[in-house]
C-alpha cells in the first residue's frame, strides 16, 4: 500500500512564503496600518487628471472617452478608462487586496518566488530571492514617485519571463499558461515600456536557448514550444485589445506619432520621439558603479542634511537659504529619485554565479544585464543607442532609457539565487567553490575597497552647473559627496564580506544549509531595507484628511467656479507648466 502523501510537508514552505511576504510588505509600509496614505507626486497628478472623468462616471454611469480639463481637451484612454469586459482586471484587483502600495511589493515577491520555483529552486532559497526582488530600491523609488502602473508591470515581470523559461525547460503547456496569465496581467497594468523590455530579455533568452538546442540536437522541441507560446501571446493581447488599440490609436496623434512638419532636406516627417528627448535621462557610464555602491554619485536629488559641510559653510556665511540649491546627486542625469542599487551582497552573488554556473542561463542573464546597462547609458553611448532607435520597432516610442535597468533588477537576483542553488546542489567540488568564492570576493570587495582608499577615482564630485561656484562652496560639496561615497563603499564591503563568510562556513561544513539560507536572507534584507528607507520612509505618509487637503479648492478656485461661461484658467500661483491642480475644478 502506497504511503499517504504528506500535504503539510509539501505545502508548508509555500504557506511560510506567503506569510513572510505579507509580514515584510506590511512591515515596510507600516504607516498604512495606522490609516495613513502615501503622498506620491504622480499619484496626486493622476487623481487630479481623472477628476472630471470620475465625476462623469459616477453621475452618468458610463465611461467618458474625452476630458476637457487637460490642455485644450484630450482622449481619456490613458487617464482613467475602465474596461468592464476584461475579466483579468478582476484578478488584478483581487491580487491587490492588500491595497497600494503594499500590494506592489507583495505581488513582486510572490511572482518572483513562483518564477524561482519554475527554475527548480528550493522554496526556502526562493523566499530569499523573492525578498531581494521585492525590496529592490528601484521598485521602491517607483512606488515613492507614484508610478503605479509601472510598479504593477514590474511586479508581473517574473511571471512573464518565468513562464517562457518553464515552457522551454520543463512543461510547454504549463509554461504557456503561466506566460499567458502573466502577460495578460502585465499588459493590463498599462505600462507598455516595461513589457517591451521584458520581451527584449525574452528574445535574448530564446536566442541563447536556440543555440544550445541546436548544439544538443533538440531543435524540434524548441520549435514546438515556440509555436505553443504563440497561443497565449495572442490571447493575452486579445484580452487587453481595447486598451492596447486605443493606446496605439492615440499614439499616432501624440508626439510619438508622425509629425505634420516636413523636413526641408528630405520632405519626409519622422515617427517617434526625438533622440534627445528619448535620452534626456541617461545613466552616466561611471554612474553604473551605484549598482554596487548606492551613493557612488551622491544618491538622490535631495538637499543635504543640516549637519552636512555645505549647510554649515553656507550658514556661517549667512547664506543658509541657498542650501536648497545644492543636492547630493552629482551625476549626469537632470535629477533622480535614487540610484539603481542592487544590493552589495546580491552583486557579489551575481559575480559568483559567473564562475559557478555552466548552462545557458548564465549567458542570457549576463548578456541581458550588459545590454540593459549599455542601453541605459543613452546619449553617453549614443552610437549604440541609435542602433535601437533606428532599427528596433517601437524603441523610439519610449523615453527615459534608464528605465531599462529594470532588466538588471530582474537578472541580478535571479543569477544570484541560481548561484546559491548550484552551491547547495552538492555537484561542485569544494576546491572549485572556494576558487569561485575567492574570485567573487576579490572582485566586488576589491572595487569597494579601492573607492574607500581613493574616492577621487569616482570623479570631481562636482556637477556641471556647479563648476562656476566659488571654491569654498565647491570644497564643501566635495567633502560631503566624498564622505557619502566612502561611507557607502565601506557599507557595501561589509555586506560582501558577511555574505562571503556565510558561504565559506557552508562550504567548509561549519554551517548547516538551513542556517546559511536564513543568514544570507537576513544580510540581503538588511542591506536592501536600509537603502530603501533613504527613498521611501515613514515621513512620506500622512493622515487621509491632510492628504485630501491637497485637492481642496482655494478661495480663488471657489470664486472662479461662480462663472458658468466657458473659460480656461491660467494659474500663475503655481508652477504653471508643471502643476495641473487647477484641472480638478
CA distance 123 to 162: 15
**pLDDT in the model for residue 267:** 44
34 secondary structure, DSSP code: G
**Helix, strand or coil for residue 37?**
strand
Place of cell 503594499: 102
- Find how far residue 100's CA is from the centre of its chain: 16
For CA atoms 468, 471, 472, 478, the dihedral sign is positive
**pLDDT in the model for residue 323:** 80
**pLDDT in the model for residue 531:** 96
What's the number of CA atoms in the CB half-sphere (13 Å) around residue 182?
A: 31
CA distance 485 to 296: 5
Alpha helices in 454-554 (DSSP H): 471-507, 513-532, 544-548
The residues spanned by each domain of the chain are 13-251+545-552, 559-584
**Helix, strand or coil for residue 66?**
strand
Place of cell 544585464: 369
Instruction: Determine how many CB atoms are found less than 10 A away from the CB of residue 442.
Output: 13
**pLDDT in the model for residue 269:** 41
For CA atoms 455, 457, 458, 461, the dihedral sign is positive
User: Left (φ > 0), alpha (ψ -120 to 50) or beta: where does 554 sit?
Assistant: beta
C-beta separation of 336 from 300 below 8 A = yes
**Helix, strand or coil for residue 268?**
coil
C-alpha cell, 395: 524603441
Q: CA angle 484-490-496, nearest 5°?
A: 135
CA distance 172 to 161: 14
C-alpha cell, 162: 518565468
pTM: 0.93
Local confidence pLDDT in tens for the 585 residues of the chain: 456 667 787 889 999 999 999 999 999 999 999 999 998 777 777 777 777 788 888 888 888 888 877 777 888 777 787 877 777 778 888 888 898 899 999 999 999 999 999 999 999 999 999 999 999 999 999 999 989 999 999 999 999 999 999 999 999 999 999 999 999 999 999 899 999 999 999 999 999 999 999 998 889 999 999 999 999 999 999 999 988 888 888 777 777 766 665 555 554 446 778 899 999 999 999 999 999 999 999 999 898 888 888 889 888 887 777 888 889 999 989 989 999 999 999 999 999 999 999 989 999 999 999 999 999 999 999 999 999 999 999 999 998 999 999 999 999 999 999 999 999 998 888 899 999 999 999 999 999 999 999 999 999 999 888 888 888 989 999 999 999 999 999 999 999 999 999 999 999 989 999 999 999 999 999 999 999 999 999 999 888 777 666 667 777 777 777 777 777 777 777 766 666 666 666
The pair phi, psi for residue 67, each rounded to 5°, is -125, 140
DSSP letters of 295-339? TTT-SSS-BPPTTSHHHHHHHHTT-GGGGGG-BS--SSSS--S--
C-beta separation of 92 from 71 below 8 A = no
C-alpha cell, 365: 542573464
**Closest listed residue to residue 57, CA positions, set 91, 96, 90, 83:** 83
99 secondary structure, DSSP code: -
Alpha carbon distance, N-terminus to C-terminus of the chain: 74
279 secondary structure, DSSP code: T
C-beta separation of 35 from 136 below 8 A = no
C-beta separation of 405 from 373 below 8 A = yes
C-alpha cell, 14: 509555500
CA distance 538 to 334: 26
**pLDDT in the model for residue 83:** 77
Helix axes 471-507, 513-532, angle to 10 degrees: 170
Preceding peptide of 167 cis, ω within 30°: no
Amino acid at each position: 500500500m502506497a504511503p499517504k502523501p504528506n500535504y503539510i510537508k509539501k505545502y508548508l514552505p509555500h504557506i511560510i512564503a506567503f506569510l513572510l511576504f505579507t509580514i515584510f510588505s506590511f512591515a515596510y509600509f507600516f504607516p498604512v496600518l495606522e490609516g495613513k496614505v502615501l503622498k506620491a507626486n504622480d499619484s496626486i497628478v493622476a487623481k487630479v487628471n481623472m477628476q472630471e472623468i470620475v465625476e462623469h462616471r459616477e453621475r452618468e454611469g458610463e465611461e467618458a472617452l474625452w476630458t476637457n480639463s487637460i490642455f485644450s481637451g484630450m482622449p481619456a484612454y490613458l487617464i482613467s478608462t475602465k474596461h468592464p469586459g476584461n475579466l483579468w482586471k478582476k484578478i488584478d484587483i483581487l491580487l491587490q487586496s492588500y491595497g497600494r502600495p503594499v500590494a506592489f511589493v507583495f505581488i513582486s515577491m510572490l511572482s518572483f518566488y513562483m518564477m524561482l520555483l519554475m527554475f527548480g529552486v528550493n522554496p526556502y532559497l526562493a523566499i530569499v530571492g523573492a525578498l531581494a526582488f521585492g525590496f529592490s530600491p528601484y521598485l521602491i523609488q517607483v512606488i515613492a514617485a507614484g508610478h503605479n502602473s509601472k510598479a504593477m508591470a514590474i511586479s508581473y515581470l517574473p511571471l512573464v519571463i518565468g513562464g517562457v523559461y518553464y515552457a522551454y525547460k520543463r512543461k510547454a503547456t504549463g509554461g504557456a499558461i503561466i506566460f499567458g496569465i502573466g502577460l495578460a496581467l502585465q499588459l493590463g497594468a498599462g505600462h507598455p515600456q516595461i513589457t517591451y523590455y521584458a520581451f527584449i530579455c525574452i528574445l535574448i533568452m530564446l536566442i541563447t536557448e536556440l543555440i544550445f538546442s541546436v548544439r544538443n540536437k533538440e531543435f524540434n522541441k524548441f520549435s514546438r514550444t515556440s509555436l505553443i507560446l504563440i497561443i497565449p501571446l495572442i490571447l493575452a493581447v486579445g484580452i487587453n485589445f481595447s486598451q492596447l488599440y486605443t493606446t496605439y490609436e492615440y499614439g499616432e496623434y501624440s508626439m510619438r506619432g508622425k509629425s505634420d512638419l516636413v523636413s526641408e532636406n528630405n520632405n519626409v516627417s519622422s515617427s517617434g520621439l526625438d533622440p534627445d528627448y528619448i535620452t534626456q535621462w541617461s545613466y552616466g557610464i561611471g554612474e553604473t558603479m551605484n549598482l554596487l555602491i548606492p551613493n557612488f554619485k551622491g544618491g538622490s536629488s535631495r538637499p543635504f542634511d543640516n549637519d552636512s559641510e555645505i549647510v554649515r559653510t553656507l550658514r556661517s556665511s549667512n547664506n543658509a537659504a541657498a542650501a536648497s540649491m545644492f543636492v547630493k546627486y552629482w551625476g549626469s542625469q537632470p535629477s533622480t529619485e535614487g540610484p539603481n542599487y542592487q544590493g552589495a551582497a546580491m552583486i557579489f552573488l551575481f559575480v559568483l554565479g559567473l564562475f559557478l554556473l555552466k548552462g545557458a542561463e548564465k549567458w542570457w542573464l549576463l548578456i541581458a544585464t550588459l545590454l540593459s546597462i549599455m542601453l541605459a547609458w543613452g546619449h553617453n553611448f549614443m552610437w549604440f543607442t541609435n542602433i535601437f532607435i533606428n532599427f528596433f520597432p517601437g524603441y523610439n516610442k519610449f523615453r527615459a532609457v534608464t528605465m531599462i535597468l529594470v532588466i538588471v533588477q530582474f537578472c541580478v537576483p535571479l543569477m544570484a539565487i541560481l548561484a546559491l542553488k548550484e552551491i547547495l546542489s552538492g555537484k561542485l567540488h569544494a576546491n572549485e567553490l572556494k576558487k569561485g568564492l575567492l574570485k567573487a570576493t576579490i572582485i566586488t570587495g576589491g572595487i569597494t575597497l579601492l573607492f574607500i582608499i581613493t574616492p577621487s577615482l569616482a570623479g570631481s564630485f562636482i556637477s556641471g552647473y556647479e563648476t562656476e561656484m566659488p571654491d569654498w562652496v565647491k570644497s564643501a560639496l566635495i567633502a560631503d559627496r566624498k564622505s557619502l561615497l566612502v561611507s557607502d563603499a565601506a557599507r557595501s564591503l561589509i555586506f560582501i564580506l558577511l555574505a562571503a563568510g556565510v558561504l565559506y562556513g557552508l562550504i567548509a561544513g561549519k554551517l548547516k544549509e538551513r542556517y546559511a539560507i536564513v543568514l544570507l536572507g537576513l544580510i540581503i534584507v538588511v542591506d536592501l531595507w536600509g537603502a530603501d528607507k533613504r527613498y521611501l520612509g515613514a515621513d512620506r505618509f500622512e493622515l487621509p484628511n491632510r492628504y485630501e487637503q491637497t485637492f481642496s479648492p482655494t478661495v480663488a478656485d471657489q470664486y472662479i467656479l461662480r462663472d458658468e461661461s466657458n473659460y480656461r484658467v491660467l494659474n500663475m500661483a503655481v508652477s504653471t507648466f508643471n502643476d495641473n491642480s487647477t484641472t480638478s475644478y
